[in-house]
């Protein structure tokens, strides 16, 4: 079996869903003739035509707004943000219109908003966002952030088939760096279900997106010292798999929450609070968070490397917890 990249997995998911369901279409900047800034939609306009692969003006509000309007009419739009950072321009439309539509007036608004997120690619302050936390406190959205090609394809299909709006955060550092053999047959990865990437008994690392590989590296290093680390790839941020988190903490009694977004007010704060509320008695040490610095993402490689979480930061946190 040939291997499929993370980016190709996203493309395949869109193509297969558009073949399966005539209600699905793609709308965004440069997604058509050019095939997307990262070539995520290469060849799609040739297969589906300009009516279903819609090139728009530089207008994120119009993209998310038009997708929302079409969704109310029974369509299943996929709206691409050229970089996920630009969703901040359409934040209003997404959180006030799309996310609230079902709750406010009983009108389902099943859109998928997807786009390249994350740092490590020297994109600088405006092309490196990890947006999950800024949407977590706005009920009505689902938020997923796959870290593998398998999950990227399966979660995107699940998102497109979902009856509610889904923010699909794809990590652009992984686009061409990750390759996996994928099943030939149709599959989905259910939204809200974590994946236990590595089973362990001494320490849990809860993470998602590209940080799963940082967690893997740290776990491998700790294994050399005889420390057994459990790595949980959350995959879905909203709704999140509370059961998987609590079960793991009950087993290992020590937990690190690792995410690429800045620390303060990050998604990790919510997971930490949930653990403190529901699994306090199982903890043998404080809950640790490893995250980016509380600054915008800097451009220059040494600055960005210092800013981002990495294996050594995780190891330092782990050793502190193990010695507690």
Segment interacting with another protein, rule: CB under 8 A, options 5-13, 37-45, 73-81, 255-263 = 73-81
* Contacting residue, 2, 106, 226, 302, with another protein by CB under 8 A: 106
Q: Which residue in the block uniquely carries the two structure tokens 């949980």?
A: 232
What one-character-per-residue DSSP string does 156-183 give? HHHHHH-SS-EEEEEEGGGTTT-EE---
For residue 102, the minimal CB distance to another protein (Å) is 7
Segment interacting with another protein, rule: CB under 8 A, options 52-60, 119-127, 282-290, 312-320 = 52-60
Identify the helix (H) or strand (E) that includes residue 53: strand 53-55
Query: In 3-state terms, what secondary structure has residue 81?
Result: coil
Question: From CA 288, how far away is CA 30, in angstroms rounded?
Answer: 41
Query: In 3-state terms, what secondary structure has residue 48?
Result: helix
Question: From CA 147, how far away is CA 132, in angstroms rounded?
Answer: 14
| Torsion angles phi and psi, residue 310, rounded to 5 | -150, 180
- Catalytic annotation present for 259: no
* Contacting residue, 7, 44, 45, 64, with another protein by CB under 8 A: 64
Contact 170, 116 (CB under 8 A): yes
For residue 64, the minimal CB distance to another protein (Å) is 7
For residue 186, the minimal CB distance to another protein (Å) is 21
Question: From CA 60, how far away is CA 37, in angstroms rounded?
Answer: 15
**Residue 86 interacts with another protein (CB under 8 A): yes or no:** no
Segment interacting with another protein, rule: CB under 8 A, options 157-165, 268-276, 282-290, 303-311 = 157-165
**Residue 93 interacts with another protein (CB under 8 A): yes or no:** yes
**Residue 70 interacts with another protein (CB under 8 A): yes or no:** yes
For residue 84, the minimal CB distance to another protein (Å) is 19
**Residue 46 interacts with another protein (CB under 8 A): yes or no:** no
Dihedral over Cα of 168, 87, 237, 307: its sign: positive
Residue ranges in contact with another protein by CB under 8 A: 25, 51-52, 54, 56-57, 59-75, 77, 92-93, 96-97, 100, 102-108, 139-140, 142, 162-164
Would you please indicate which residues are annotated as catalytic (active-site) residues?
A: 127
């Amino acid at each position: 079996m040939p291997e499929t990249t993370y980016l190709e997995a996203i493309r395949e998911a869109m193509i297969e869903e558009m073949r399966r369901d005539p209600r699905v279409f793609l709308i965004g900047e440069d997604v058509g003739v050019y095939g997307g800034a990262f070539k995520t939609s290469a060849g799609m306009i040739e297969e589906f035509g300009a009516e279903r692969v819609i090139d728009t003006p530089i207008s994120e509000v119009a993209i998310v707004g038009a997708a929302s309007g079409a969704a109310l009419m029974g369509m299943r739009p996929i709206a691409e943000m050229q970089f996920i950072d630009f969703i901040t321009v359409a934040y209003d439309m997404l959180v006030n219109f799309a996310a609230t539509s079902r709750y406010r007036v009983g009108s389902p608004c099943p859109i998928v908003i997807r786009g390249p997120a994350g740092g490590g690619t020297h994109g600088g302050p405006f092309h490196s966002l990890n947006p999950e936390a800024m949407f977590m406190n706005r009920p009505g959205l689902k938020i997923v952030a796959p870290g593998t090609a398998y999950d990227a394809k399966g979660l995107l299909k699940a998102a497109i088939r979902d009856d509610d709006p889904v923010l699909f955060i794809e990590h652009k550092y992984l686009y061409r760096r990750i390759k996996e053999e994928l099943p030939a047959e149709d599959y989905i990865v259910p939204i809200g279900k974590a994946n236990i990437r590595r089973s362990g008994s001494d320490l849990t690392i809860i993470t998602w997106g590209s940080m799963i590989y940082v967690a893997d590296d740290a776990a491998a290093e700790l294994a050399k010292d005889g420390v057994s680390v459990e790595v949980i790839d959350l995959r879905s941020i909203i709704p999140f798999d509370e059961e998987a988190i609590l079960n793991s903490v009950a087993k290992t009694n020590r937990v690190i929450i690792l995410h690429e977004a800045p620390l303060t007010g990050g998604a990790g704060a919510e997971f930490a609070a949930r653990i403190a509320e529901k699994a306090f008695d199982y903890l043998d040490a404080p809950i640790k968070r490893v995250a980016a610095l509380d600054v915008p993402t800097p451009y220059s490689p040494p600055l960005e490397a210092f800013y981002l979480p990495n294996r050594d930061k995780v190891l330092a946190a782990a050793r502190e917890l193990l010695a507690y």
